[in-house]
Amino acid sequence: MRHSMILAAVAIALGTAPTIDAAPKKKRAAAPAKVAAAPAEPVVASLPDAPYVPLTGCPVPPAGSLAAVKKVDKKARGKFSIDKAPFISTLDAGDLCVSGNKMRSGAGDTAGSMGLSAQVMNTRSARMDLVDIPAFERELRPVLEAFGKAWPYAPLERTPKLLFRADEAYQAQALPDNTIVVSMGLLEAAQSDSEVLFVLAHEYSHLLLGHFAKAETIAGARGATQAVSVAWSAGSAFTAMKRSGGNVSLATMQSGMDAGARRAAPVAEALRFAVDDIFATSWNRDQENEADALAVDLLIRSNMTIDSYANVFERLQKAFEAQKASYDKRKAAADAAQASMGEAMKGFATSNVAGFAATGGAGMQGFGSGLLKTAGGALVSNLGNITRSMGGDTHLPPEERRKGLAAYFQAGYPTADPPIDTGALIGRIKGKPEFARTVAMRNAYMKARASYFAQDYAGASAQLRALGAGSRTAPTFVNYVAGLAARDQGNVAQAGSFFQAARTGSGVQNLQLYESYTEMEIGAGDMSDSNALIAEGKARFKDPDHFKSIEIKRDIAAGDMAGAQLVYNACMAVKGRDYITERCKAAMPQAAQQPSNPLGFKLPFGG
Amino acid sequence: MRLAVMAVLAAGMVLPAVAQAADAPAIKAYKRDPLPIYDDAGTKLRDVPVASMPAAGSAGAQVVGAKAGFVGVRLDGKLAWLRLSTVDYVGDLAAIKCDANAMSFAKMEEEGLQQSLGLGCGGGK
C-alpha cells in the first residue's frame, strides 16, 4: 500500500505516466500501452556541448604571473604530499601538454600510447545510472568555465560535460572522455556552495593534470577492467543459461541447473552494477593530494568561496569510519554471496549442460558447459578479489587530507580573502523542480533495481513502468533494467521493446545495454538483429575492439566456428587492453585452451 | 542543541551566543596567522596570533555562534567572529546516507571502495 503510494507520487512528481512511444521492432509484440500524460514542460534532453577550442601550442604562464611558492609546514601538513604552495605555481607546462595529448589521442586501434579517452570502459558510456540534467549543468558549467579561465597552462579543449548519477552515494568522478559525474547523493548532502565547488574543482583538476595518462593510473585501470571482464563473462554465461532468448524456459531444465541458475543470474547481473559502482579510477595518494591542492588554487584564482569545503572531508571521514566498522558485516555478506555462487556452480557441474545445449534450441548451441563453468568458476574464485583488484587503499584518511590542505592554504594564501559562501548556488539547484523529480526517480529506481535483484521481476517491472519504462524519454537505465526484468521473466518480446526504447531514447547511452540486448538476440538465434546491434554499437561507441567478444559469441551461436576463430585471433592481437583479450577468452574458452600451435612449441612468428 | 547550531549555520543566520556544551563542535584548524577577528557587522577589528587563540579542537575553540561566512568563538570572555575561510569548521555534520545500493555483498573489501574523491560510499547505514 505504502509502496504503491510512493510510486504513484513519483509518477506524479515526474510528470510522466508510463508511455510506450518507443519504436519496437516489427517482430516484437508491444507491451501493454498506457496513456501518456502530457509533460508539464518540454523535455530538454541535453545541454549543447560547450564549444570546442583546439589547443594550439603549449601555453606557458608569463613570468611573474603566478603567486610565489612557499614551503608548507612539514609538521602541520603531516602525510599530505604537497610540500610547496601554491601547487599551481610549481607545475611543468611541457609535462602538462604531453599528458593532455596522451589523454586525448586516438581511438581504439589507432590510439596513441594511451588513448584512454577513446576506450569505452573509461567513458561515460560504460557507466550505468547516469542522467543528463540540463538545468543542473546550466548552473554548474559556468563554474567549470571559470576554473578554465583560472588555469594558465594547456587547457581542456572543451569544458567537461556534467552528468549526474542516480544513486545515494557521496561521490564524484572525472572520466577521461572529459566527463565529470556527480552523484545525486553528493548534491543532496551538500549544505553549502563551497562543498560542491570544491568537489568540482577537485575532479576538474584530475583532468587538467592529465592524471589519466599517468602510468600508475593506467595500471590501476587495467586491474579494474579485468574485474569488469570477470563480471561481464559470468553475467553473459548465466544469461545464456537462463535461455532468455530461446523457446525452452528455465523451468524445463534439469532441476539442479534450474535452481542454481535462478539464484546465480540475478547475482551475476547485480555484479555488473556493483562493479560499475566501484569501478573508479585508482588514483594514488599523490594524485589525490595534487587534485586537492589544485582545487584550492582554482577556487582562489577564480574568486570562489572556500568557506565550508572542509565539510567534504568530514563527510568522507564519517564514511571512512563507518566503512571500517562495517567491515565484518560486509565480509560476512561476501562470504554468503560466494557460497551462493558456489552452490549455483554445483548445479552446473551436476547437470548435463552440454547435452542440453545441443537440444535446447539454436541459441544454446554455442554455449557449452566449458564456457559456463569457466565463467562461473572465474566469478566464484574472483568474487572476493574483484574489488581488491582495483588497488590498495593508498589514500590518506580524509581527516589527514583536510589537515594537510589547511596547512597548504595557510602557506600559499596568507592574504587571500575569498568571498562568503551564501549558499545561493546549492539553493538554486535544490530549488529546481528537477531536483525533487530526480531524487524521487532515483529512490524509486533503486527500489525497482533491488526488486529485480531479489528476483521479483513483476514487481520490478511495475515499479519501472511507473518511472516511464517503455518511453524513449525515460532514463536509459530505467528501460535497461525493465528489459532485464522482462527478459528474466521469459518475455523476450517485451524485453526487446524496453531495450529498443533505451537504444533509441534520449537518455545517456550505455554500452551494457548494447551487450545485453545483443546477447539476448544471439540467444534468440536472431543473427540479423545481432549483427545490426553490433554494427551500431561499434559506430556509436567508436571502440570496435570492445565488441570482439560479442562477435565471437555471435559467430559461435551461428555455427561459424571459423569466423569466431578469426575474430578471436584478431582479439588476441589487441595490445595494451587486457580486459579485451580476457573477454574474448571467456567467450571462446575452447580457443583459449588450445596450444599456440599444434607442434606444441612456441613458433618465432607467433600462433 | 548541536542540530540547532547546524540548522542556523545552514540558514546563514546569526546564532546568539550560547553556553558551551562539552561536546559542542569546535574549530579544527586555524589557517592564518595572525588570525583576523571581526565584529558583529563583519568589520575587521584586529589580528590575533594563533598562539594566543584557544588550541584548535579544544573546548576553548568551541563555536558559540554562526552566521553566513563567519563563526563565533569566545575570546577573553567576549564573542569574536572569525572568517570561515581562515579556519576549518565543520559543525556536526550528519553521516552520509550510504545505503546506496542493494548489493551489499559487493562492498566487501574496503580497499575497493575508494572513489575519485578518495573514498566512496562507506556502506554504513
Pairing of strands A179-183, A172-175: antiparallel
- CB contact (8 A) between residue B105 and residue A336: yes
Shortest Cα distance from A594 to chain B (angstroms)?
34
pLDDT of residue B24: 75
Reply yes or no on whether the pLDDT at A391 is more than 80: no
- CB contact (8 A) between residue B85 and residue A203: no
- CB contact (8 A) between residue B114 and residue A393: yes
Beta-carbon-side half-sphere exposure of residue B76 (alpha carbons within 13 Å): 4
Range name among A269-273, A388-392, A552-556, A569-573 with the lowest pLDDT average: A388-392
pLDDT of residue A455: 84
A99 vs A334, higher pLDDT: A99
Dihedral (C-alpha) A541, A543, A545, A550: value to the nearest 10 degrees? 0
For residue A311, the chain B residues in CB contact (below 8 A) are 90-91, 93
Name the burial class of residue B4, with classes exposed (0-12), middle (13-18) and buried (19+) by CB atoms within 10 angstroms of its CB: exposed
- Assigned CATH for A2-40+441-592: 1.25.40.10
Domain ranges of chain A: 2-40+441-592, 66-431
C-alpha span between A84 and A73 (Å, rounded): 9
HEC per residue, A33-78: CCCCCCCCCCCCCCCCCCCCCCCCCCCCCCCCCCCCCEECCHHHHC
Whether residue B61 is found in the same domain as residue B113:
no
pLDDT of residue A73: 96
ipTM of the complex: 0.74
For residue A398, the chain B residues in CB contact (below 8 A) are 118-119
Question: Long-range contacts: A335-339, Cβ < 8 Å, 24+?
Answer: A336/B105, A337/A267, A337/A383, A337/B105, A337/B108, A338/A380, A338/A383, A338/A384
Name the burial class of residue A539, with classes exposed (0-12), middle (13-18) and buried (19+) by CB atoms within 10 angstroms of its CB: exposed
Number of domains in chain B: 2
pLDDT of residue A355: 30
Q: In the A/B pair of chains, how many CB contacts fall below 8 A?
A: 235
For the segment A83-95, the average pLDDT, to the nearest whole number, is 97
pLDDT of residue A517: 95
Q: For A489-548, how does the pLDDT look when each residue is reduced to its tens digit (9 = 90+)?
A: 889 999 999 999 999 999 999 988 999 999 999 988 999 999 999 999 999 988 899 899
In chain B, the largest separation of any two C-alpha atoms, in whole Å, equals 56
Whether residue B25 is found in the same domain as residue B10:
yes
C-alpha span between A328 and A552 (Å, rounded): 41
A223 vs A543, higher pLDDT: A543
A2 vs A228, higher pLDDT: A228
For the segment A416-420, the average pLDDT, to the nearest whole number, is 97
Whether residue B116 is found in the same domain as residue B65:
no
Greatest mean pLDDT among A103-112, A449-458, B19-28 lies in A449-458
The CA–CA distances, whole Å, from A339 to A88, A332, A380, B31, B105 equal 51, 11, 8, 52, 12
For residue B9, the chain A residues in CB contact (below 8 A) are 191
pLDDT of residue A585: 86
A138 vs A38, higher pLDDT: A138
Whether residue B69 is found in the same domain as residue B123:
no
pLDDT of residue A222: 57
Chosen for mutation from A191, A206, A379, A401 (greatest number of chain B CBs closer than 10 Å) is: A191
Q: 84-143 in A: which are within 8 Å (CB) of B? A: none
Tell me how far apart the terminal alpha carbons of chain A are, to the nearest angstrom. Answer: 63
Q: Which amino acid is at B13?
A: M
Shortest Cα distance from B11 to chain A (angstroms)?
8
Name the burial class of residue A580, with classes exposed (0-12), middle (13-18) and buried (19+) by CB atoms within 10 angstroms of its CB: buried
Q: 373-392 in A: which are within 8 Å (CB) of B? A: 384, 386-392
Reply yes or no on whether the pLDDT at A29 is more than 90: no
Reply yes or no on whether the pLDDT at A298 is more than 90: yes
B28 vs A262, higher pLDDT: B28
Within 10 Å of residue A59's Cβ, how many Cβ atoms?
15
Q: For A308-338, how does the pLDDT look when each residue is reduced to its tens digit (9 = 90+)?
A: 999 999 988 877 666 555 545 545 545 555 5
A45 vs B60, higher pLDDT: B60
At A458, is the pLDDT very low, low, confident or very high (cuts 50, 70, 90)? very high
Q: Which domain holds residue B26?
A: 2-88
Q: Determine contact: A339 vs chain B, CB below 8 A.
A: no
At A224, is the pLDDT very low, low, confident or very high (cuts 50, 70, 90)? low
pLDDT of residue A3: 34
Average pLDDT, chain A: 75
Whether residue B8 is found in the same domain as residue B53:
yes
- CB contact (8 A) between residue A395 and residue B118: yes
User: Residue A440 contacts by C-beta under 8 Å, 6 or more apart in sequence?
Assistant: A9, A10, A13, A14
Reply yes or no on whether the pLDDT at A354 is more than 90: no
The CA–CA distances, whole Å, from A546 to A128, A296, A515, A528, B122 equal 17, 38, 10, 20, 32
C-alpha span between B123 and B100 (Å, rounded): 8
For residue B108, the chain A residues in CB contact (below 8 A) are 330-331, 333-334, 337, 384, 387
For residue B103, the chain A residues in CB contact (below 8 A) are 270-271, 273-274, 277, 453
C-alpha span between A592 and A371 (Å, rounded): 11
C-alpha span between B64 and B80 (Å, rounded): 10
Q: Which residues of chain B have pLDDT under 50?
A: 1-20, 98-125
Shortest Cα distance from B94 to chain A (angstroms)?
8
